[in-house]
Structure 1
Amino acid sequence: MDCENPFRRILKTLERPDGGEYGKFFSLPSLNDPRIEKLPYSIRILLESAIRNCDEFQVRSNDVEKILDWENSSPKQVEIPFKPARVLLHDYTGVPAVVDLACMRDAMNKLGGDSSKINPLVPVHFVVDHSVQVNVSGSEKAVQANMELEFQRNGERFGFVKWGSNAFDNMFVVPPGSGILHQINLEYLAKVVVLNTTDGVLYPDSVVGTDSHTTMIDGLGVAGWGVGGIEAEAAMLGQVMSMVLPGVVGFELTGRLRDGVTATDLVLTVTQMLRKHGVVGKFVEFYGEGMRELSLADRATIANMCPEYGATMGFFPVDHVALKYLKLTGRSDDTVSMIEHYLRANMMFVDYNEPRDEIVYSCSLELKLEDVEPCISGPKRPHDRVPLRDMKADWGTCLNNRLGFKGFAIPKEAQNKVVNFVFRGTRAQLRHGAVVIAAITSCTNTSNPSVVLGAALVAKKAYELGLEVKPWIKTSLAPGSGVVAKYLQKSGLEKYLNQLGFHIVAYGCTTCIGNSGDIDESVASAIAENDLVAAAVLSGNRNFEGRVHPLTRANYLASPPLVVAYALAGTVDIDFEKEPIGTGKDGKQVFFRDIWPSNKEVAEAVEASVLPDMFKATYEGITKGNPMWNQLSVPTGALYDWDSKSTYIHEPPYFKDMTMSPPGPRSVKNAYCLLNLGDSITTDHISPAGSIHKDSPAAKFLIERGVGRRDFNSYGSRRGNDEVMARGTFANIRLVNKLLRGEVGPETIHIPTGQKLSVFDAATKYKSEGQDTIILAGSEYGSGSSRDWAAKGPKLLGVKAVIAKSFERIHRSNLVGMGIVPLCFKVGEDAETLGLTGFEQYNVELPNEINEIKPGQDVKVITDDGKSFVCTLRFDTEVELAYFNHGGILQYVIRNLINSN
């Protein structure tokens, strides 16, 4: 404990009911400040962190005052520091994070520093969950077969991760095949309240994770949100996270859900409401008497989708429902008692049987739970909710509409086209809207027993009536933890999912992130050769273009029971209220209502089948539970021995020619526009993701190094190799670049020559000629997953600045972390209104001295054809300016660590 902390006077003892002590804690009530009672619970966690970490250096007393005065200070966009209790990684972002840490150790050595300082100073939980692909499905052998293929492809990466778990202190690795990090976090890793064994101080658990859906833990009352890998690395190394004190949107829930309505229906409704309201950069805090009706898993489902409605957090304060869940998932009675006593003592516990504090919110919304109706979301964005009753009409509209988020521009005469093909010796047919992938997948819903068992009940009713899934639909079930398999077996319902082809294929993140694997070649050919709009239905949280599978242009998010229902129907072009879902074994038509379980049936199945012992058995010895992981042979030593021939792990060039002197501000002069992009460009469009196309620059690079096409693996699995990732940046096949005047794909125009080149080749050509480049973009640039390669890739391509109408929170901070200048057009302006075509050259007039640059200042941009406009410089804090001055956050950390000797 820091003896310089000015708040030591409020350090109190938390007593046990039996007269002993749980530990010490910084007592908010002891401040005797009436403003605390009005603070949202989520802000109280920020307040406690600032008080506990106050040293008048990284965290100052005036930071505490800013948070105390939240009601007045948050509208002013003031900066505050935050130190999370821990960091959460998955392998897609964790491998490059460990690569960077290993590379930083080398840089420290070269600059004469102590390389052992490059070591996590807070607990790091690393869950390997993103590398498995659904290569085998519809088989009881699928789990083992997919895992064997996963290790064949990724043995080198996994060995590197295992080396990191030994080389770095404070790094806890959960091996492949254990589940999805967010569900494991919820069921096992989260402590809710932490006891520091060094100084005996209790404090609220908090976490930042390199996945935007880290917010799922908010459902358990743990403050958590997604950050880029770059920010996470800095947090690991003890750096304070700088953030703008957020506004808090209060979201009141009243009433109860109607029969037949699922938690997924609720979350899609909430997502649409909040995205429409506008909550980017804000916390959302849920409250109201309707909270009594929501299970912890329901809350976690809503919190998980926080990135889809755009908030930083979707927070549910701890109450009796949370305590009940902690006991269900195997936390000891003593631990749960400590959690309750601490939170009550520190004004952080909600008891709906007691009068509620008069909490002040920035603004409030209300949802009556009885107004929620069955729905799905799509075909291209998670917040485009469609009530189930309107789905058939909406599908017809999407076929008619011009190409866009809700349109496919299919000519009228082609909309009823029937494509005949042969599937494994049998004649088959496909139409627009045909379902070819049906996946119960993702942390969003597989954490929730009510919807998983609901899907199993649908399967049971359908099987008993004689319904079958079309054999060419790729069906899969990828649970978020081994607990799911245990309660499915206990319920006796697993066999019905298997009968319909929904065998468990893996314990990890699959279809939702594009690890859907190939669909049958005959199906793929029928779709591609006839330009069909085929559909995927999945219980995930993301459905952006090109993400789920290159050949499914329509992707709908739905509850697990609806995934089964659409798989049975075989099409999304159906009105479930009026049209039969199929024909039963007795020859009679079967309708949706015939197979849909009641809420009572689902609740009974959950009550009888989900037991505490299942969680304890699943998580005992989880780090040693995979024999293939245990057999991996790994190198030893604190410094990594880089293999220059490796196509998986490569030493990145970030610290090449680095000196102890910061480079300072860099002007952007005579820059060409690498890409001219529109609205809602996601990190899926920017960051390399999914499969590696056979004609891409990345494929060419791999082939030149002797890698066969079948061994390309995915971009995600090669995130530890900057040479592959730079070539895959902006490689999305659905990328719309205005420089191409209507063409779609991963190419651009090299403006000086007029050549049409891949984005990588054009960027390489600009770099070789010493030319700066920028990117023009519309609103919500960088929305989607928190991918650090969406910033690292452009950095390696030579991009100096991005000028957009607006940025998604995480991506903007990642650009700053890589030394790229984020600029926003003024309100009401964009590239089109200013007459910018992207074929101009751009000069961004930044001051030459860092002390002359201020967060949020106006910056003039001048083009070579005489246009001039003013942008807002989106360095939001002084700390971000320091990162820019040093050339990036990692360079800043290295220099600071060396200078602290």
Structure 2
Amino acid sequence: MPVTGHDTLQVRRSLQVGDLAYDYFSIPEAEKALGDLSRLPFSLKVLLENLLRFEDGRSVTVEHLKAMAAWLKERSSQTEIAYRPARVLMQDFTGVPAVVDLAAMRDAMVALGGDPKKINPLVPVDLVIDHSVQVDAFASRLAFERNVELEYERNRERYAFLRWGSQAFDNFRVVPPGTGICHQVNLEYLAQVVWTAKEGNKEVAYPDTLVGTDSHTTMVNGLAVLGWGVGGIEAEAAMLGQPVSMLIPEVVGFKLTGALPEGATATDLVLTVTQMLRKKGVVGKFVEFYGPGVGKLPLADRATIANMAPEYGATCGFFPIDEVTLDYMRLTGRTPERVALVEAYAKAQGMWRHDGMADPVFTDTLELDLSTVEPSLAGPKRPQDRVPLKSAKQSFEDALPSLAGDSPRDASVPVKGTDYSLKHGDVVIAAITSCTNTSNPGVMIAAGLVAKKAVEKGLNRKPWVKTSLAPGSRVVTDYYRKAGLQTYLDQIGFDLVGYGCTTCIGNSGPLPDAIGDAVNEGKLVVAAVLSGNRNFEGRVHAQVKANYLASPPLVVAYALAGSMTRDITTEPLGMGKDGKPVYLKDVWPTPQEVDAAVRSAVTAEGFRASYADVFAGDARWAAIGADKAAMTYSWDPNSTYIQLPPYFTGMSREPAKSVSDIKGARILALLGDSITTDHISPAGNIAKTSPAAKYLMSRGVEPKDFNQYGARRGSHEVMMRGTFANIRIKNEMLGGKEGGYTKLWPEGTEMSIYDAAMAYKERGVPLVVIGGKEYGTGSSRDWAAKGTSLLGVKAVIAESFERIHRSNLVGMGVLPLCFYEGTDRKTLGLDGSETIDILGLEAGLKPRMQLTCRITRADGSVQEVPVLCRVDTLDEVDYYRNGGILQYVLRQLLASSEPVGRA
């Protein structure tokens, strides 16, 4: 239900839109009690409306509403609010474990004598299967069909489980494989900008809001839909009616002026914005875009910027409703009634952006003149490391010594069965992939035009480049067909490989054997160029050390050039059929060419046709059966994909009365800065020598059938063995050695992190992990917290945390702690041999309290340092006391559930 009925301020009003009437909760009416709110940031107006609608005198009070008004004076707040999003979005990697947890909660509810029907989403949930397709086949007209076949072969069990979930749970829909990336499907179809729901005989209108189990949920903020990524555990709580507990955020205003120059793309803009905001420091904050330049940005460009919020560290990057929003809604086939409602509602609520309006009040601001944006890439390791295109060659050469190690700088390895050799800097992957850009017709059409001009000049991709095209939705295929561009992309190897999130999440598939062998033989630093949003070490491909983010047309250009050691702004991409060199400027389309193709090929009819039957799926999907009648899931004890997790084993109806201190803990891993959730819980290939591989082989699974870690997130046995198993992670106990290894103390014996954790578990020894700055950056990957918990880690002590991972740790009952300024693992001289006590918890856990970390060294000396407990809110205190958010929710639902069989 969207409202609680309390409404102390009496702000519920009626809105007439044509022949339709809606109830809504009026911000202008609230101003009569709260004061002028007209210059509140648009994103905070969305939160304010949410509080007005759910004001009940308990979880939301008038004091919370007054705190929103007070924000205008203070421009920040320490007030905790209970926010209830309208819906939840999932993808299959993160969605499968969430549905596993819901199924396990039903089992636990039965075991504790409760009603399993209580475990049901209370808000709409959409799960889009988009993360499982891999680029096995490429550069072939049969690539799409072959990759889909393999996808179903590898994932049939997971897909059958999701079919069961869509039938067993209310308010739960599944978008089948081969449809698109969840964020693009959300942007183009699911999102409504203004949501509506029945309450009795009334239709209530309110802002469309969501949380998603993927960090790039933020993309939809480009459409003025407030949303961000959370861990699966937080999303499950939201599905089950629990509010998202948060502090009223600071809002950084990003002023845009001017217009993009010729030659610059939305990707170049977003890489510039990402670099600026990372430098500014916006972790945990909202970013809101304003200024005259906003009106000049197409909706797709706004979505591209909003998509990258996790990369610039913000909770979201919000664009308000304006005429551009309405134009996009019409283009994408939303109904005229919905478009009319959005306009009327936004204007009635003071949520309408227009030129000449007074700027909102922000916590802080920064500004960018769009005309200064230049063609760029980002790499070779981080999305915020923008490199001007003209400096890309030099940038790679500067990075090469640290990447190459002892491999000679002039290493050259003949590729077996070919007439060419492979060298440092050669581009072996060129992928048009990921939600960042494939939602944007401008850059996608530009890529097609580069391909067309290249083919007409007689160019082709270099033979060592693995090329792929993975659009974010079938709409792309429609407009490529109408524009006559797909045939040219096919001719240079950019055949359709699937609709989904491929190379960007490590589903790039294997390199051809001869290429992979040459890379290994020469220890070559080869490169990937992709139109994605993530390029962390080990993410794109295990054999590719240099990874660059770029616009789709630049991806095509680098496939033609074949090397990062070529300056494509001055050196030719190749030789044309007339024997003359062909330069980038010869194949780069003009803005007029791009605009003309977009106008003619991108149509509302194309969007409507692509989404006409979005939940039906193909014949393969229809052939997967599921037991419609089963309230609880029939777990297969032999499964290595879907397993009953142990979170609720031995769980009591009530939590322990007090929280215990952590004593005698050993350090499982001693880690540096910018440890990502990829480092903690990889999503890509399962290494054949890893603990996860050994487990799978012990269960009769052949290496060819290992699949990816991401595909096995429904198996806690695989995932806990994969925790801290990234091939690029460096545990500082081991002096620079890469991989998931540690030392078992007090012996000092080197072994895998998993094996050490199990040894400590047998000894009854708790564990801690020590980290540096920005611990847990990257994807909102709940298994990074789940796996940490299952290994027996009781606390993570770092210099700072990324927002989502910190929250996820609390949600799994792991204590996040921060060193105070001036203290870190280096100043403390930690080497991993120490034991750690965390003291002060037994006195009573409170949000953001100071605790004591007592370090006992191998020589018996003791040092105590204060640490900040990053359990930030009272709700999080409850979650931690219960052992995690799922246990908390289960106990709450159990308390409201009559035992089965009672009257």
C-alpha contact (below 8 Å) 1:74/1:246 kept by paired residues: no
List per-residue Cα deviations over 1:282-323 (Å, max 9, x = no partner).
000001111122100000000000100000010000100010
C-alpha contact (below 8 Å) 2:411/2:522 kept by paired residues: no
Q: How do 1:441-480 and structure 2 match up within 5 A?
A: 441-480=433-472
Deviation of 1:462 (Å): 0.8
Deviation of 1:861 (Å): 0.8
C-alpha contact (below 8 Å) 2:91/2:182 kept by paired residues: yes
Matched letter for residue 299 of structure 2: L
CA separation in 2, counterparts of 1:6 and 1:440? 50
- Residue 888 (structure 2) pairs with residue 892 (structure 1): yes
Q: Which residue of 2 aligns with 1:576?
A: 568
CA separation in 2, counterparts of 1:739 and 1:2? 54
CA separation in 1, counterparts of 2:541 and 2:459? 27
SS at match of 1:678: coil
List per-residue Cα deviations over 1:77-112 (Å, max 9, x = no partner).
321110000000010010000000000011111111
Q: Which residue of 1 aligns with 2:431?
A: 439
Deviation of 1:863 (Å): 1.4
Matched letter for residue 686 of structure 1: I
Deviation of 1:661 (Å): 1.8
Q: Which residue of 2 aligns with 1:686?
A: 680
CA separation in 2, counterparts of 1:779 and 1:340? 43
Of 180-189 and 580-589, more deviation after overlay is shown by 580-589
SS at match of 2:198: coil
SS at match of 1:200: strand
Q: Which residue of 1 aligns with 2:900?
A: none
* Equivalent position to 2:736, from 742, 747, 762: 742
* Equivalent position to 1:430, from 411, 422, 428: 422
C-alpha contact (below 8 Å) 2:177/2:617 kept by paired residues: no
Q: Which residue of 1 aligns with 2:606?
A: 614
List per-residue Cα deviations over 1:817-843 (Å, max 9, x = no partner).
000000000012111112222210000
SS at match of 2:164: helix
* Equivalent position to 1:644, from 637, 647, 652: 637
Q: Which residue of 2 aligns with 1:869?
A: 865
CA separation in 1, counterparts of 2:161 and 2:184? 24
Q: How do 1:301-450 and structure 2 match up within 5 A?
A: 301-352=304-355, 355-400=356-401, 403=402, 408=403, 410=405, 414-422=408-416, 425-450=417-442
Q: How do 1:818-829 and structure 2 match up within 5 A?
A: 818-829=812-823
SS at match of 1:289: coil
Structure 1 residues 196 and 67: CA distance shift in structure 2, 3 A: same
* Equivalent position to 2:781, from 760, 777, 787: 787
List per-residue Cα deviations over 1:246-289 (Å, max 9, x = no partner).
10000010001110110000000000000000000000000111
Deviation of 1:577 (Å): 2.6
CA separation in 2, counterparts of 1:317 and 1:3? 27
Matched letter for residue 60 of structure 2: V
Structure 1 residues 463 and 415: CA distance shift in structure 2, 3 A: same
C-alpha contact (below 8 Å) 1:688/1:789 kept by paired residues: no
List per-residue Cα deviations over 1:634-676 (Å, max 9, x = no partner).
1231101111110000000000000012024132111000000
SS at match of 1:868: strand
Taking only aligned residues, the RMSD between alpha carbons, in angstroms, comes to: 1.2
CA separation in 2, counterparts of 1:627 and 1:445? 29
- Residue 29 (structure 2) pairs with residue 30 (structure 1): yes
Deviation of 1:677 (Å): 0.1
Of 332-341 and 552-561, more deviation after overlay is shown by 332-341
Matched letter for residue 282 of structure 2: V
CA separation in 1, counterparts of 2:592 and 2:849? 58
CA separation in 1, counterparts of 2:849 and 2:425? 49
CA separation in 2, counterparts of 1:452 and 1:885? 49
CA separation in 1, counterparts of 2:809 and 2:74? 26
SS at match of 2:872: coil
* Equivalent position to 1:520, from 512, 515, 519: 512
Matched letter for residue 729 of structure 1: T
SS at match of 2:419: strand
List per-residue Cα deviations over 1:395-427 (Å, max 9, x = no partner).
111113xx3xxxx2556x9212222222xx322
- Residue 78 (structure 2) pairs with residue 77 (structure 1): yes
Of 482-491 and 852-861, more deviation after overlay is shown by 852-861
Q: How do 1:160-175 and structure 2 match up within 5 A?
A: 160-175=161-176
Deviation of 1:521 (Å): 0.7
Q: Which residue of 2 aligns with 1:292?
A: 295
Deviation of 1:358 (Å): 4.1
CA separation in 1, counterparts of 2:306 and 2:230? 16
Matched letter for residue 189 of structure 1: L
SS at match of 1:642: coil
Q: Which residue of 2 aligns with 1:707?
A: 701
SS at match of 1:898: helix
Structure 1 residues 587 and 603: CA distance shift in structure 2, 3 A: same
SS at match of 2:76: helix
Deviation of 1:4 (Å): 4.6
Q: Which residue of 2 aligns with 1:46?
A: 47
Count matched residues: 886
C-alpha contact (below 8 Å) 2:771/2:796 kept by paired residues: yes
C-alpha contact (below 8 Å) 2:175/2:617 kept by paired residues: no
Matched letter for residue 869 of structure 2: L
Q: Which residue of 1 aligns with 2:222?
A: 219
C-alpha contact (below 8 Å) 2:746/2:833 kept by paired residues: no
Q: Which residue of 1 aligns with 2:10?
A: 9
Of 236-245 and 72-81, more deviation after overlay is shown by 72-81
- Residue 207 (structure 2) pairs with residue 204 (structure 1): yes
Q: Which residue of 1 aligns with 2:194?
A: 193
CA separation in 1, counterparts of 2:794 and 2:455? 58
Percent of aligned positions with the same letter in both sequences? 55
Deviation of 1:900 (Å): 2.3
Matched letter for residue 28 of structure 1: I
Structure 1 residues 338 and 2: CA distance shift in structure 2, 3 A: closer
Matched letter for residue 770 of structure 1: G
List per-residue Cα deviations over 1:848-868 (Å, max 9, x = no partner).
25xx22211111111123111
List, as ranges, runs of 4+ consecutive aligned residues in structure 1 with deviation greater than 4 Å.
Answer: 1-4
Of 4-13 and 212-221, more deviation after overlay is shown by 4-13
C-alpha contact (below 8 Å) 1:7/1:52 kept by paired residues: no
Q: How do 1:116-131 and structure 2 match up within 5 A?
A: 116-131=117-132
C-alpha contact (below 8 Å) 1:74/1:245 kept by paired residues: no
Deviation of 1:144 (Å): 1.2
List per-residue Cα deviations over 1:101-146 (Å, max 9, x = no partner).
0000111111111110100000001101101101111111111111
Q: How do 1:250-289 and structure 2 match up within 5 A?
A: 250-289=253-292
CA separation in 1, counterparts of 2:135 and 2:654? 49
C-alpha contact (below 8 Å) 2:67/2:77 kept by paired residues: no
List per-residue Cα deviations over 1:684-719 (Å, max 9, x = no partner).
000131011111111111111111111111111110
- Residue 763 (structure 2) pairs with residue 769 (structure 1): yes
Deviation of 1:627 (Å): 1.2
CA separation in 1, counterparts of 2:347 and 2:143? 47
Matched letter for residue 748 of structure 1: T
Q: Which residue of 2 aligns with 1:588?
A: 580
Q: If the length of structure 2 is used for normalisation, what is the TM-score?
A: 0.97
C-alpha contact (below 8 Å) 1:439/1:477 kept by paired residues: yes
C-alpha contact (below 8 Å) 2:75/2:362 kept by paired residues: no
Structure 1 residues 505 and 192: CA distance shift in structure 2, 3 A: same
C-alpha contact (below 8 Å) 1:255/1:368 kept by paired residues: yes
C-alpha contact (below 8 Å) 2:404/2:525 kept by paired residues: no
* Equivalent position to 2:659, from 665, 690, 704: 665
- Residue 594 (structure 2) pairs with residue 602 (structure 1): yes
